[in-house]
Amino acid sequence: MCPVFDASTAPEEGGADFPKFELKTNEGARINLIGTKGWAVSVRHWVAKMGYVHCHAVTNKMTLPDLLKLEKNGGDPEKCLMCAMAAQGVEAVGSPQRRIALRILRYKTDLKGKVVPGDLSFWMEIWVISNQKYRDILNILKEWGGEDKKKIRNHDLLLTCDDEQYQKITITPMKLALWQKKGKEVKAYLEEEIPKFDLNACLGETIEVEALKRRFARISRSTMATDPVDTELDDIMDEAETETEDSQEGDFMDGLTDDEDEAIVVDDDEEEEKPKKSKKADTKLPKVVDEEEASEGDFLADLLEDED
């Protein structure tokens, strides 16, 4: 379960403490995707004084394309207080964004991403990627992994950062996977490290609606004298109160973390993250209009099958 944010101790921004993968401009890195097991997906908002918070408009019936559609539509103001605030131009709340988190194995390299001869060191990091970066990886998985998804483990990726601020990264598949030289050591390391980080928590905090309202009220009272934007908070919260009360059901990120062989479903309004048994990954996904998005959703659901 993802902890509810404590308003009295919340940082200025950020969320769960985890080893986040990021590169500086012109910096390179060599990584391995460690297969495709256990990726997590969410729609989230950036909120001032809180960091990233899971959108309350997400339901357990949504597929990956549904989440993308939610983002493209600017969220659902009737079901999510943060969507309502973003729609009305409150600067303290960002628009909903779909993001995907995955674990990677990163090697020790020089600044260009070249491994130092005789020093094959490695560690795990969490990579939070945008829709475009997901599609870039998707294309590589299809080309290099094919029907056998395990094959992607046989190829490292060389990453080069073109823009630090927006993390614009060029991905180049490599012929070999260096971790195979230390296969047993890498496997033992990952078995110990993977359970330490909940990818859902890495994507954002889960905050119940009433707790979120109290948090916004505190921010409004403490900054209203200096920040005119915050004078809008009370009115927007009152308008959204009825709609959000009816939308708080279910569990967030149903089945993706603990049951990694299950379909991409996300839980109702993201009150709490309680992974539970859901439909298997080969379950037919709901019909969607956009064929490209439908293919994308089917493929990621397939990727989440247990590879062991």
pLDDT tens, residue order, the chain (308 aa):
232 222 233 333 345 689 999 999 999 999 999 866 778 999 999 999 899 999 999 988 899 899 999 999 999 999 999 999 999 999 999 999 999 999 999 999 999 999 989 899 999 999 999 999 999 988 888 887 666 666 788 999 999 999 999 999 999 999 999 999 999 999 999 999 999 999 999 999 999 999 999 988 887 776 544 444 444 555 555 555 544 433 333 333 333 333 333 333 333 333 333 333 333 333 232 333 333 443 444 444 444 443 33
In a domain, 4, yes or no: no
In a domain, 117, yes or no: yes
In a domain, 96, yes or no: yes
pTM over 0.75: no
**Helix ranges restricted to H, the chain:** 64-72, 81-87, 131-140, 183-193, 199-203, 209-223, 233-245, 291-303
In a domain, 11, yes or no: no
Sign of CA dihedral 221, 223, 225, 227: negative
**What is the residue range of 265's domain?**
28-303
In a domain, 65, yes or no: yes
Distance CA 8, CA 184 (A): 44
Considering its fold, how many domains does the chain have in total? 1
CA separation (Å) from 221 to 50, 196, 225, 280? 16, 37, 8, 47
In a domain, 13, yes or no: no
- DSSP element (H, E) containing 175: none
In a domain, 2, yes or no: no
In a domain, 52, yes or no: yes
